[in-house]
Amino acid sequence: MKNSIIFHLSANKELAKKIAKIAKLPLGKVDIRKFADGEIMCRNLSNVRGKDVYIVQSTANPAQDNIFEILIFADSLRNSDAKSVNLVVPYFGYARQDRVALPGEPITAKVVANMYQAAMIDKIITIDLHTQQIQGFFSCPVINLDTFELFGDYFVKYFDENGVKQSDVVVVAPDHGSALRARDLGSMFNGASIAFIDKRRPAPNKSEVINVVGNVNGKTCVIVDDMIDTCGTINNAYDALIDHGAKEVYVCATHAVFSTGKLKSEIKGVVVTDSIERNIKGVKVLSVANILAEAILNN
């Protein structure tokens, strides 16, 4: 890895610095310009000849600008004779558009994958993809990392310090898509159980709870999801759990999208990661820098 270098673009500047420090790799320099007409230019200012380059850039809002920066800078690196151009995209934008739900809809996640491959990206490292099937849209290697150990270690310590028995913990999946996340996080506790929220989506960014599957009465609940966006899913899950007798409710999610809305103030604690740079009052942020640095060094 001595012949590797890390770059950040407009997103994840602090995360990239942390990764470079942990991995003991140099942080490259790039000149990013946005012109009056809206065009973007990303110029490499470092020697990358014969080097393995890692671009750290989440594609959250503004998703289009962040994606286009990646495409442009990948070309700059190829023109600078980089040995390989690898993308570390902690939050993979457009991941929720991974299938045709209604006639005429595009599979935008696949379109994004095709653009990265057209830019000759050699490898993708990401965290907690919305669905595993997105990996199949790529012909290059895609490394999808988990965060359940990061959250598990945090909550085990937190509950121990605050007198919560692990056997009184219920890990809750707010929908069917988070069932595996709930199972993995639940494995971090001794004697914890799992519950599921059965819901439906009448429209995009809207959800309705149908039922709670599992016993949460008198329990400390931890809702786990891949992201918090409009807060509707989490807030509805909270209401359902309290209605079913939950003692208290915590929330953890890898990606702090928070595009609109806000979480209920009654939620005991909210924990996210720095996959997207956010500074939200009352929200605990855990860093994924170690996870990503290890992936870069070992893959």
Gap between the Cα atoms of 270 and 222, Å rounded: 9
The answer to whether 274 and 89 are in contact (CB under 8 A) is: no
Selecting among 13, 199, 262, 284, the annotated active-site residue is 199
Cα–Cα distance list, 14 to 2, 18, 126 (Å): 22, 6, 17
Q: What is the pLDDT of residues 55-72, one digit of tens each?
A: 999 999 999 999 999 999
Residues whose CB falls within 8 Å of the CB of residue 91, separated by 6 or more in sequence, listed in order = 58, 59, 60, 126, 127, 227, 254, 255, 257, 275, 276
pLDDT, tens digit (0-9, with 9 covering 90-100), for 137-177: 999 999 999 999 999 999 999 999 999 999 999 999 998 88
CA atoms within 13 A on the CB side of 247: 9
Tell me: cis bond preceding 62? Omega within 30 of 0 counts: yes
Which two three-digit tokens encode residue 201? 């989506």
Percent of the chain with pLDDT over 90: 87
The structure tokens listed for 159 are 């509950």
pLDDT for 203: 59
CATH 3.40.50.2020 fits 148-267, yes or no: yes
Clarify whether 206 is annotated catalytic.
Answer: no
State how far Cα 36 lies from the chain centre: 32
Is the CB of residue 249 less than 8 Å from the CB of residue 229?
no
DSSP classification of residue 49? B
The per-residue pLDDT for 70 is 98
Q: Residues 256-291: pLDDT tens digits?
A: 999 998 999 999 999 999 999 988 889 999 999 999
Instruction: Tell me the whole-structure pTM to 2 decimals.
Output: 0.92
- Specify whether the CB–CB gap between 92 and 145 falls below 8 A: no
Residues near 267 by Cβ (< 8 Å), separated by ≥ 6? 234, 238, 249, 250, 251
pLDDT digits (tens, 9 = 90+) for 211-263: 899 999 999 999 999 999 999 999 999 999 999 999 999 999 999 999 998 99
Q: For 4-145+290-298, which CATH class?
A: alpha beta
Structure tokens at 116: 């990265």
CATH 3.40.50.2020 spans which residues of the chain? 4-145+290-298, 148-267
Bridge partner list, 85: 53
